[in-house]
A and B are shown apart, each in its own frame.
Chain A
Amino acid sequence: MSAEPAVTAPAEPVVTGRDRRRPGPEAWSWVFMRLSGLVLLFLALAHFAITHLLNDVVETDYRFVADRWSNPLWRGFDWLLLVLALGHGANGVRVVVGDYVRSPRARRAALGVLGGLTVAMAVAGTLSILTFEAP
């Protein structure tokens, strides 16, 4: 039998830089994942249904895109899907990297690659949608 540890006074609460009663960045991340997830449930599944089920994937060629993007509402739909999916996906992968990549250097590198790819795809996708000129 090991001896019981001596009873000590409770430790002082750890003082951090922000008021713990107010939501911090991870709480906002939690809110963002749920709200963006709910919107993406409709946007992503509708997008998949249109491009793979209602039309065959082979039919969604250049003419299909040109026809769709002649309507600014579809450009808006696609842009919202792009930014929400990139944000939701990148934030999810950020959490996964935080769970599995333990070394600080490797984690910084992985998060750097993730951030770089996400921003590059957001820029490329936004330019594709905004600057497309129908023939």
Chain B
Amino acid sequence: MSGPEAPAARTGRARPYRGRPGQWAFFAHRVSGVLVFVFLLLHVVDVSLVRWPDLYDDVHALYGNVALRLFEVGLLFALVFHALNGLRVIAVDLFPEAVARQERLLSAVVAVTVVAGVPGAVVILWPFVEGRLL
């Protein structure tokens, strides 16, 4: 998924990709992907503790505190954005018509990420809304 760098290298001027929304989508896709992968490594470790039920429950209870709930909200946004933007990448790969509309597709990706992510964030943080800790 590298940008069309070759023309820029030749002329030193034409950089149709740089600074455009597509470049930010490329960057956000990488960042969200790496973050989810790092969480996945951590998550396999905490689930492996299930061999020791009491230890598993003690460690698992940490996921209920507000700092880790905020982290889970971040994970939700990263997952949804990465999934939807991945669909956009596949669409652009397979359908020539999608290339012309890729920026509008990106707007849709961001819009659906927000529309799905905000209610999810409310559900995840609800114990703190109810407990007036937030």
Contacts and interface: CB of A to CB of B under 8 A. Distances in A.
Interface of A: 34, 37-38, 40-41, 44-45, 48, 52-53, 56-58, 60-62, 65, 82, 85-86, 89-90, 92-93, 95-96, 99, 117, 121, 124-125, 127-128, 132, 135
Contact of B86 (A37, A52, A89, A132): A37
B57 A121 contact: no
A110 B64 CA distance: 33
Nearest 6 pairs of A and B residues by beta carbon: A89-B37, A58-B64, A62-B53, A121-B44, A125-B44, A41-B83
B34 A37 contact: no
Interface of B: 1-2, 30, 33-34, 36-37, 40-41, 44-45, 47-48, 50-51, 53, 56-57, 60-61, 63-64, 69, 72, 75-76, 79-80, 83, 86-87, 90, 93, 120, 123-124, 127
Given A37-B86, A40-B83, A53-B120, A128 B47 contact: yes
Contacts of A62: 50, 53, 56-57, 60
A41 B86 contact: yes
Contacts, number: 92
Given A53-B123, A65-B50, 6 more contacts: A37-B86, A48-B76, A57-B64, A61-B60, A62-B53, A90-B37
Contacts of B123: 52-53
Given A62-B56, A93-B34, A52 B61 contact: no
A38 B90 contact: yes
Contacts of B37: 89-90, 92-93
28 contacts: A34-B86, A34-B93, A37-B90, A41-B86, A48-B76, A52-B120, A53-B120, A53-B123, A56-B127, A57-B124, A61-B60, A62-B50, A62-B60, A86-B44, A89-B36, A92-B33, A92-B34, A92-B37, A96-B30, A96-B33, A99-B2, A117-B41, A121-B41, A124-B44, A125-B47, A125-B48, A128-B47, A128-B48
